[in-house]
A and B are shown apart, each in its own frame.
Chain A
Amino acid sequence: MAILQEISENLQKGYAPKVTELVKQALNNKLDPLQILNDGLINGMNIVGVKFRNNEIYVPEVLIAARAMYAGLNILRPILTQTGATYVGRVVIGTVKGDIHDIGKNLVKMMMEGAGFEVIDLGVDVSPEKFVDAVKNYKPDILGMSALLTTTMLNMKDTIEALKSENLRDKVVVMVGGAAVTESYAVEIGANGYARDSVSAVERAKELVLNYK
Chain B
Amino acid sequence: MKTLLFDVIKGKKAKRVPWVPFVGVHGGYLIGLGADEYLKSSDKIVEGISTAIQRYRPDGIPVAFDLQIEAEALGCELIWSKNSPPSVSTHPLERGIQIDSLKVPSEKDGRIPVIMDALKRLKEKYTDIAIYGLVTGPLTLAMHLAGTDLLMNMLLDPENVEKVISFSCDVATKMSQYYSKNGADVIAIVDPTVSLISPQTFDQFLTEPYKKIFNFIKSENKISASFACGDARKVIEPICKTHPDSFHADENVPLSMLRDSTQKYNISFGGNIPLATVLFNGNETLSQKVAAECIYESGINRFVLAPGCDLLYDTPPKNLEAVGEVVHDVPIEKIGAYITEKASQIVEEEIAPYKVPDYTSLDHVVVDVITINADTCAACKYMVEAVKSIGDKFMAIPPFEWSEHRLSEKTTLSMIKTFGLKQIPSIVINGKIAFEGIVPTHDELVKKIREASERKRK
Contact = CB atoms under 8 A, between A and B. Distances in A.
A98 interface: yes
Interface stretch (A39-47, A56-64, A204-212): A56-64
A177 B322 CA distance: 32
B237 to A, nearest CB: 15
Interface string B72-88: 00000001010110011
Contact of B88 (A58, A59, A100, A152): A100
A6 interface: no
A124 to B, nearest CB: 9
Nearest to B201: A60
Interface string A44-79: 000000000001011111011001000000000000
Contacts of B198: 57-58, 60-61
B228 to A, nearest CB: 14
A58 B197 contact: yes
Nearest to B84: A151
Contacts of B151: 59-60, 63, 103
B277 to A, nearest CB: 9
A180 interface: yes
Contacts of A103: 148, 151, 196
A150 B275 contact: yes
The contact size tier of chain A is: 20 to 34
A197 interface: no
Contact of B312 (A55, A59, A125, A150): A150
A107 to B, nearest CB: 11
Contact of A63 (B87, B152, B281, B313): B152
A58 B198 CA distance: 6
Max chain B Cβ within 10 angstroms of own Cβ: one of A55, A60, A125, A179: A60
Contact of B155 (A55, A61, A125, A150): A61
Contacts of B280: 150
B313 A64 contact: no
A34 interface: no
Given A60-B151, A63-B151, A180-B276, A55 B79 contact: no
Interface in B141-163: 148-149, 151-152, 154-156
A102 interface: yes
B195 to A, nearest CB: 9
B313 A58 contact: no
Contacts of A120: none
Nearest to A125: B79
Contacts of A63: 148-149, 151-152
A53 to B, nearest CB: 12
B89 interface: yes
Contacts of A100: 79, 87-89
Q: Which of B84, B231, B275, B280 has the most CB of A within 10 A?
A: B84
B89 A60 contact: no
A150 B151 CA distance: 25
A98 B155 contact: no
A30 to B, nearest CB: 33
Given A58-B196, A125-B79, A102 B148 contact: yes
Interface string B379-395: 00000000000000000
B234 interface: yes
A149 to B, nearest CB: 7
Given A58-B201, A60-B151, A103-B196, A98 B84 contact: yes
Nearest to A99: B87
Contacts of B87: 100, 125
Given A55-B231, A125-B79, A151-B312, A60 B276 contact: no
A14 interface: yes
A58 B276 CA distance: 25
A60 B84 contact: no
Contact of B152 (A64, A102, A151, A179): A64
Interface string B196-238: 1110010000000000000000000000000000110010000
Nearest to B148: A103
Nearest to A58: B198
A60 B154 contact: yes
Contacts of B79: 100, 125
Given A60-B152, A60-B198, 5 more contacts: A55-B234, A58-B201, A100-B87, A125-B87, A151-B84
21 contacts: A57-B198, A58-B196, A58-B197, A58-B198, A58-B201, A60-B154, A60-B155, A60-B198, A60-B201, A63-B152, A64-B155, A67-B152, A100-B79, A100-B88, A103-B196, A125-B87, A150-B276, A150-B281, A151-B312, A151-B313, A179-B230
A-B complex: 4 closest residue pairs judged by Cβ atoms: A63-B152, A150-B276, A59-B196, A100-B87
